[in-house]
């Protein structure tokens, strides 16, 4: 009898292992169904949609950090570049009608607030491509990739590695944040981009639009996940892991590591930018706070909790930490004890410490141990590098 139960359990575990991506996608698809059935509100769907957009950023960091071994603290910057691109488009198409500059171009409302007292204010030239959606999407992907390849060219060619790379990218993020906060940059300063009303003609406060955005984000995540998987499984993916393991050896094997690093860094920036573009319309506002160094470090926490070097782990970690954040930053009472939102940083900190100490490869290892039924599993890993 136990034998039978055991066999069923093994079967379930095997199925979980085999169809994990399918199950995850099914969960993602079930959310709109729950909404249509009236079980959850559109706000929940919207929140999950935002978290899926953030999962894209986590995937992008996982490529660079988990697989290639470069701890990058630039991810929020790339995210914000995409977010600002989409935000500028949305700001163009939102707010009161009829604010026109001397050249006949519409002044976005959030920009108008800052420049209404300036005589002869014109919409800056760099805002203009972002009036058109296709150009916005193209630029939202291209600009982060371009910035990343420029940074990468100088940083990787001069063989900046390890901690120095982390510090350098953090400095880049900080500098970019300071620049974006300046009013003179005509990017709406610390106020950020606001007054998002319509995306491609669809009103953003409409529930159907928000549901559509969720579905688009889910589709984007699935697509990007698949692309990342293709990269990881290719020869190039193994070169990336080889860079993480032993870059010197790789150079003596005739590879130019900086080319591969530049490639993966640019791809990752593009993915983070895509995340930003999907996040902005769902958030309804995009400000420089989204590109603070803190945000970059949060992405590191998500990936670390989920399990670096596993794509599924990055996504799972993001969703887990953010759902936890969402739950624990509201007040709860249980048997006379009061949970206050202020406690959240302690939870986040302890979560990170627990993962680093007891589960260095993240919750992905737990999942693997639960579901992997193959007998020929390799000997236990002796921790991480």
One residue of 35, 89, 112, 263 binding another protein per CB under 8 A: 263
Distance CA 99, CA 160 (A): 48
Binding string, residues 323-362; x marks residues near another protein by CB under 8 A: ----------------------------------------
Torsions phi, psi for 308 (to 5 deg): -75, 150
First to last CA, the chain: 44
Which of these ranges, 80-88, 172-180, 250-258, 333-341, lies near another protein under the rule CB under 8 A?
250-258
Query: Which is closer to another protein, CB of 192 or CB of 313?
Result: 313
Cross-strand pairs, 141: none
Segment lying near another protein (by CB under 8 A), choices 156-164, 173-181, 249-257, 340-348: 249-257
Report d(CA 145, CA 148) in Å as an integer.
5
For residue 138, the tally of other CB atoms under 10 A from its CB is 13
Distances from the Cα of 101 to the Cα of 86, 110, 112, angstroms: 21, 14, 10
Residues 6 or more apart whose CB falls under 8 angstroms from that of 55 comprise 221, 275, 314, 315, 318, 319
Is 372 a binding residue for another protein by CB under 8 A? The answer is: no
Q: Which of 18, 208, 238, 332 binds another protein (CB under 8 A)?
A: 238
Which of 270, 315, 275, 13 is closest to 144 using CA atoms? 270
Q: Which of 155, 239, 293, 298 binds another protein (CB under 8 A)?
A: 239
Please identify which residue in 104, 235, 335, 338 interacts with another protein, judged by CB under 8 A. 235
> At its nearest, how many Å lie between another protein and the CB of residue 137?
23
- Sign (positive/negative) of CA torsion 65, 315, 339, 359? negative
254 binds another protein (CB under 8 A): yes
The answer to whether 104 contacts another protein (rule: CB under 8 A) is no
Report the nearest approach of another protein to the CB of residue 231 (Å).
7
Neighbours of 350 (CB within 10 A): 10
**In this chain, which of 77, 89, 196, 260 binds another protein, going by CB under 8 A?**
260
Under the criterion CB under 8 A, does residue 249 sit at the interface with another protein?
Answer: yes
Judged by CB under 8 A, the stretch of 137-145, 237-245, 292-300, 331-339 that binds another protein is 237-245
3-state secondary structure 88-134: HHHHHCCCCCCCECCCCCECCHHHHHHHCCCCCCCCCHHHHHHHCHH
By CB under 8 A, is residue 250 in contact with another protein?
yes
Residues making contact with another protein (CB under 8 A): 231, 234-236, 238-239, 241-242, 244-246, 248-256, 259-260, 263, 309, 378-379, 381-382
């Amino acid at each position: 009898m136990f034998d039978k139960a055991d066999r069923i359990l093994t079967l379930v575990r095997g199925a979980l292992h085999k169809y994990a991506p399918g199950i995850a996608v099914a969960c993602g698809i079930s959310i709109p169904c729950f909404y249509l059935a009236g079980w959850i509100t559109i706000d929940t769907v919207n929140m999950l949609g935002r978290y899926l957009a953030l999962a894209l950023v986590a995937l992008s960091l996982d490529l660079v950090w988990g697989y290639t071994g470069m701890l990058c603290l630039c991810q929020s910057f790339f995210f914000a570049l995409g977010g600002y691109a989409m935000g500028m488009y949305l700001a163009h198409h939102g707010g009161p009608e009829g604010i026109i500059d001397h050249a006949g171009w519409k002044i976005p409302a959030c920009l108008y607030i800052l420049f209404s007292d300036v005589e002869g204010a014109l919409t800056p030239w760099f805002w203009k491509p972002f009036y058109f959606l296709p150009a916005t999407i193209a630029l939202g992907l291209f600009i982060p990739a371009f910035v990343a390849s420029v940074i990468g060219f100088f940083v990787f060619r001069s063989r900046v590695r390890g901690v120095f790379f982390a510090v350098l990218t953090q400095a880049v993020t900080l500098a970019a944040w300071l620049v974006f906060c300046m009013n003179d940059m005509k990017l709406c300063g610390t106020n950020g981009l606001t007054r998002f009303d319509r995306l491609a003609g669809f009103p953003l406060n409409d529930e159907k639009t928000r549901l559509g955005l969720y579905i688009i984000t889910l589709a984007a995540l699935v697509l990007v996940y698949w692309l990342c998987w293709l990269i990881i499984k290719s020869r190039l993916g193994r070169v990336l892991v080889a860079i993480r393991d032993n870059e010197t050896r790789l150079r003596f094997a005739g590879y130019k590591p900086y080319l591969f690093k530049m490639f993966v860094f640019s791809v990752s920036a593009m993915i983070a930018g895509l995340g930003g573009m999907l996040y902005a319309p769902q958030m309804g506002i995009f400000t420089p706070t989204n590109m603070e160094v803190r945000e970059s470090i949060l992405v590191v926490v998500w990936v670390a909790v989920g399990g670096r070097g596993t794509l599924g782990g990055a996504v799972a970690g993001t969703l887990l930490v953010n759902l936890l954040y969402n739950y624990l930053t509201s007040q709860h009472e249980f048997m006379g004890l009061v949970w206050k939102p202020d406690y959240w940083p302690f939870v986040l900190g302890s979560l990170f410490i627990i993962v680093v100490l007891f589960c260095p490869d993240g919750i992905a290892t737990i999942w693997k141990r639960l579901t992997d039924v193959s007998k020929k599993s390799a000997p236990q890993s002796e921790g991480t590098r």
